[in-house]
Amino acid sequence: MKKVGIIGGSGFIGSYITKQFLENGYEVKVSTTDISKEEKFQHLRKFQNANHLEIKELDVVYKMLLKSFIKGCDIVIHGGTPFQLDVKDPKTELFDPTIKGTENFLEVVKGSKTIKKVVFIASVAAYNTNFPLLPEGKTEADQITENDVPFMSEQGHPYAQAKFIANQVVDKFIADNPNLPFEITSVSPVGVMGKSLSNRQDSTSTGIQFLFKNKIAPNPFIQMLYDMDVLWALVDVEDVAKAIYKVATTKNIHGKNYLLSSESYRVSDVTLMLNHQEPKNQSKIIYQNRLAAEDLGIHFKPVKETLNNY
C-alpha cells in the first residue's frame, strides 16, 4: 500500500484531499500543528478507510520534524501554509511559515529515498498578488493563463506576497536541481469555496463565504470588495482536491503549475447565489483552466452549484 503525507491535511482543502487518498486505498499521514486539539482533525476519523489514517504533530519550521513526517512516504503534498487575512505581524504569521517552511521542506525532501512525487498547493497569488483584483495591464476582457508573466506588487496582501515568493523558491529549486529522483508539481487555485467537511470555526475560506452570504465587512479589505463589486474567480473545493490527487498520481508533469479555476462572478452575484438566488450578471472566464482540463481530465463545477453547497 502506497503512503502519502499531507501537510495541512485537516484544513478546508486538505480534508477533501485526505478523503480522496483514503478512498483510493492509500495509507495517509496528516499533519497537525497541535496534536492536543483533536477538534481540528477528529472529522477525518469518520472517513472511509480511516483505519489507514495517521495524525502527526508538525511545525514546518523544524527540519527534524519534517524529516520524521515524510519518512516512508511515496507522495508528499504541502498545503500547510497559513491562510489568513487579518494579520498583525506579517513576518511571524505569514512570511516565515510560508517561505522558510517551503525552503525547509525542499531541503528535507531532497534527501528522501522513497518520495516519487511532491505536490505544492500554491495559490493564484503565484500568478497575481493583486487577486481578486486583476494584474496591472489586464482588463476584464483578458484571460490569464499559465504562460503569462507572474505579476507581483508590494501593495498586495501579505498572504499573497508570501505565496508568490514561496512559489519562486520552488521554481528556483527545480531549476537548480535538474536531476531530482522525484517530480515536483504545483497547483494554483483561485478563490476556493464550497461545503466544509468539518465543523471547525477557524477556516478563512468558509469564513469568507459567511461574510459574503450576509454582506458583512469586518475590515476595509472586504468592504472594498463590496464597494468595487469585484469580479471574483472561484473554484469548487472538491474539484481542487480531485486535481491534486490527479497531479500526485500523474507522471511526466514535473515543473508545471496548474491554474485551478471555474467561472468569475461579481461579489454581488456571489452573495445572491449563496442565498440561493439567481445572479444578475453573466459569468466570465478570467483565469484559464484549459491546462488542468487537458492534462488532468478535470471538469470544473459551475460556481452556482458550488455556492449552493455552502
Phi, psi values for residue 221, rounded to 5° = -65, -50
CA distances from 90 to 40, 86, 94, 243 (A): 24, 10, 5, 30
Residue 159: predicted pLDDT: 86
What whole-number distance in Å separates Cα of residue 207 and Cα of residue 181? 40
pLDDT confidence of residue 31: 95
pTM for the full model? 0.95
**What number of CA atoms fall less than 13 Å from residue 199's CA on the CB side?**
5
Report the DSSP beta bridge partners of residue 189. Answer: 260
Give me the pLDDT at residue 8, please.
93
| Successive 10-residue mean pLDDT values, the chain, 310 residues | 95 96 98 90 96 94 93 94 70 82 94 96 95 94 95 85 94 97 97 92 84 93 94 97 98 98 98 97 96 96 93
In DSSP terms, 54 is beta-bridged to 29
Alpha carbon separation from 31 to 20, 58, 93 (Å, rounded):
16, 6, 18
pLDDT at 1: 83
The C-alpha atoms of residue 234 and residue 307 are separated, in whole angstroms, by 10
Domains recognised in the chain with CATH numbers: 3-190+236-260+287-294 (3.40.50.720)
Per-residue pLDDT at 82: 65
Q: Which residue do the cell numbers 497559513 mark?
A: 82
Do residues 28 and 1 lie in contact, with contact meaning Cβ atoms separated by under 8 Å?
no
The three cell numbers locating residue 287: 483565469
